[in-house]
Structure 1
Amino acid sequence: MSAPEGVRCTLMRGGTSKGAYFLAGDLPAEPAARDALLLRVMGSPDPRQIDGLGGGHPLTSKVAVVSGSADPDADVDYLFLQVAVDAPEVTDRQNCGNLLAGVGPFAVERGLVPAGDTETSVRIRMLNTGELAVATFPTPGGRVDPTGTAAISGVPGTAAAVVVEFPQGTGPLLPTGNVRDTVAGTEVTCVDNGMPVVLIPAAALGVGGHETPAELEGDAVLAGRLREIRSAAGRLMGLGDVEGTTVPKLTLLAPPRDGGAVATRTFIPVRCHTSIGVLGAASVAAGLRLPGGVGEGIARLPGSGDRVRVEHPTGFLEVDVRVDPGLPVVRRTAVVRTARKIFDGTVYPRSARAAPTPAQRPGGHHDSAAS
């Protein structure tokens, strides 16, 4: 058998995640063939992903597929694919706001969007949901420059700021129609400001909410309660059977400790996030702005301005969010992220011989509208 053919790829850190970025035209058009290739590229299924690009964790087993957009309101299309680490599964059931930070620079470097003389704004259609975002970043002299002074928690050093702004969404901010619901005997707030999230007071589950991710992952009683809540909340939010999917996320809320508005611990869906996703944080921040939500009495919101500092296990993420609680709708959401190209070249996937094929689960990569 001949050696596997190489595929052009850029490995980038986007926000607090890391993933492989591809032009759509460099991958098979048929989803099953594409996903089978990506499993081989990332080295899945294998807890270490030793034979591929993946880093043995959901946050480093991600893929961005980018192409020019036919939408007049967008410059490029971005499809996010989560590649499971230890199972032959690829899903597009959610967005990734961290890898989103790298889409604009990638599009410029691959010639999909011309660079401005000082900065460039790229309009991005997120194919997972159909929603739009605008990423603005410096391009001095018409070239992407990743160096700068912006720092984000969970990433060492500094880099150029990538300001990502999300226009008002078209879906309901409260998928259940209620600011509070009782799910599996626990009061929660179900919110979707770009990512379906279930907000849960940590104390309601018998934990403090400031534990390390490892401590929370090791709590078998907590894991059982979270599975129960997630299953019931998924149906209540119109997501159907969420077993085997990555949404909704579950975020535990606790009083802040480091000057922020709230402390969070987020599950994706069973691993505890070492930080928090961009879109997840946007949903948390919007949920805290809703009178009557479960964050009341826990969060310490600033007295003025739109900025909400969301604490997470390795620092914080600041979200500018403006909510009209009477409707309720979010009028504006923006975050500052950074991104950096790690390498650009050719990736050689392992041989397709005896390679596992992607699992075909309900709501898998053929159901992109669900998130």
Structure 2
Amino acid sequence: MDFYGEQKRIRCVLMRGGTSRGLFIMRNELPADPELRDKVILRMYGSPDVRQIDGVGGADSLTSKLAIIGPPTRPDADVDYTFAQVSITEPFVDYAGNCGNVSAGVGPFAIDEGLVDAVEPVTTVHIHQTNTNCLIVAEVPVVNGKAAVEGDYHIDGVPGTGARIELDFSDTAGAVTGHILPTGNPVDRLDVPGVGPIDVTIVDAGTPCVFVRAVDMGIKGTETPAQIDADRELNDRIERIRGTAATRIGLVEKWQDAARKSPYLPFFVLISPPADYLDFATGRMIEAEQVDFVARLLFMLRMHKAYAVTGTVCTGAAAKIPGTIVYEAARPESRKRALTLIGHPIGVIDIEAAVEIEGDEPKLMRASVGRTARRIMEGYILVPWSTFAHTP
């Protein structure tokens, strides 16, 4: 850190990873004290403020994200990566889980910063994801010693095309709870206060997710983010179910605590069979034949405008485990093939997933997702001195 008038300068890079965007900062650029570090991060992003007008947050959960990068602390990794989800309206930075989209930017960042030797045409980067203590393997195209940007790979939710980055999340089963099926069951019936009994599937692969049939919530499952977010009664039921599931897997003691103590995890996913619907951003038709099932994912108490990559890993795994809500909703022929096609609000995301059903617990054998990433801006972010002042 250095000085600029009444502010301190912190070196950082603004990167897009998949359908998310955020600052990438070296660990030694931030205060070591966790409380002070979070104060600095909140000031960077302009939180708490619904518009985040005094920072770089962008008033969107998909752009209120941060990657903290450092030297590896385990021998099989090239870099450490800590993910932070910065709350927009609360003075809270959540480190409970990982963001798979932001993960797509870690390999390119490590290569461009010289943390990993660049090897053409593809550099393999082993990433220690510290939030979950898992290893992510990124295959990053390289041109002229830097991470490639140009390419012909398109992901729904990002205009144009880019160089495909392959991300292997096979090591992330039980990332938070220790088990791919935290309850031991493909389906559990929860008795939810204010809702009543409801079937859920809870899977932990990439990140913990709670899957519920859209029809059981009284909706079609093809609704837009605006439609879901505007329905307060529906969101109240969703949070009660999510909170009850969080207690079941040990994330909180009472369901009422989930919104405050664990807003990021678990993700909540509405599942429905293949159906036609409109991409809410462009108006193009997503046809039922293009997807194996339709999913709508909520995190940080809001609906995701696309689909989380860690949620994709979890959904892909769930789709291969017989008896889960996802498996039952999926197109029957998709259950045996590697590629799973998930319909989300602005298109389709695919994952190659394989689960071995032997013994007491399913084993995640493969979970591979393609993404793109781009270094957008590099330089310094300025934080007022007063943020660093001691708070008694």
Same fold (TM over 0.5): yes
* Structure 1 position 172 matched with structure 2 position 179: yes
Whether the aligned pair in 1 keeps the contact of 2:43 and 2:387 (CA below 8 Å) is no
2:16 maps to which of 13, 16, 20: 13
Decide which moves more: 250-259 or 199-208: 250-259
Partner of 1:209: 221
What is the one-letter code of the residue matched to 2:266? P
Whole-Å separation in 1 of the counterparts to 2:271 and 2:385: 45
Give the number of the structure with larger relative contact order, counting CA–CA contacts within 8 Å between residues 6 or more apart. 1
Whether the aligned pair in 1 keeps the contact of 2:36 and 2:388 (CA below 8 Å) is no
Whole-Å separation in 1 of the counterparts to 2:45 and 2:119: 34
What is the one-letter code of the residue matched to 1:13? R
Whether the aligned pair in 2 keeps the contact of 1:118 and 1:142 (CA below 8 Å) is no
Whole-Å separation in 1 of the counterparts to 2:212 and 2:389: 40
* Structure 1 position 270 matched with structure 2 position 301: yes
1:318 maps to which of 332, 341, 350: 350
Q: Deviations over 1:313-352 (max 9, x none)?
A: 0111111100112331111110000100110111112453
Offset at 1:354? 11
Whole-Å separation in 1 of the counterparts to 2:156 and 2:62: 15
Compared CA separation, residues 298 and 305, structure 1 to 2 (3 A): closer
Partner of 1:34: 37
2:371 maps to which of 337, 343, 367: 337
Decide which moves more: 194-203 or 40-49: 40-49
Map residues 11-90 of structure 1 onto 2, 5 A cutoff: 11-90=14-93
Whether the aligned pair in 2 keeps the contact of 1:289 and 1:325 (CA below 8 Å) is no
Secondary structure (helix, strand or coil) at the match of 1:286 reads helix
How does the TM-score come out when normalised to structure 1? 0.92
Q: Deviations over 1:34-58 (max 9, x none)?
A: 1111111111111111111111011
Offset at 1:87? 1.4
Whole-Å separation in 2 of the counterparts to 1:57 and 1:239: 25
Map residues 264-303 of structure 1 onto 2, 5 A cutoff: 264-301=295-332, 302=334
Partner of 1:191: 203
Whether the aligned pair in 1 keeps the contact of 2:8 and 2:385 (CA below 8 Å) is no
Partner of 2:340: 308
Secondary structure (helix, strand or coil) at the match of 1:114 reads coil
Decide which moves more: 303-312 or 53-62: 303-312
Offset at 1:355? 9.7
Compared CA separation, residues 110 and 354, structure 1 to 2 (3 A): closer
Higher percent of residues as strand: 2
Offset at 1:353? 5.6
Decide which moves more: 122-131 or 134-143: 134-143
Count of matched residue pairs: 357
Map residues 212-251 of structure 1 onto 2, 5 A cutoff: 212-241=224-253, 242-244=258-260, 245=262, 246-251=264-269
How does the TM-score come out when normalised to structure 2? 0.87
Whole-Å separation in 1 of the counterparts to 2:105 and 2:14: 10
Whether the aligned pair in 1 keeps the contact of 2:13 and 2:24 (CA below 8 Å) is yes
Whole-Å separation in 2 of the counterparts to 1:274 and 1:345: 29
Whether the aligned pair in 2 keeps the contact of 1:52 and 1:349 (CA below 8 Å) is no
Whether the aligned pair in 2 keeps the contact of 1:179 and 1:190 (CA below 8 Å) is yes
Compared CA separation, residues 187 and 7, structure 1 to 2 (3 A): same
Partner of 2:281: none
Offset at 1:295? 2.5
Residue ranges of structure 2 left out of the alignment (5+ in a row):
276-286
Whole-Å separation in 2 of the counterparts to 1:21 and 1:212: 30
Whether the aligned pair in 2 keeps the contact of 1:12 and 1:18 (CA below 8 Å) is yes
Q: Deviations over 1:73-117 (max 9, x none)?
A: 100000001111111111101101110000011011111111002
Offset at 1:197? 0.1
What is the one-letter code of the residue matched to 2:324? G
* Structure 1 position 352 matched with structure 2 position 386: yes
Offset at 1:276? 1.0
Whether the aligned pair in 2 keeps the contact of 1:41 and 1:350 (CA below 8 Å) is no
What is the one-letter code of the residue matched to 1:138? P
Secondary structure (helix, strand or coil) at the match of 2:223 reads coil
- What is the RMSD computed on CA atoms of the aligned residues? 1.8
- Greater than 3 Å deviation, 4+ residue runs: 353-357
Residue ranges of structure 1 left out of the alignment (5+ in a row):
358-371
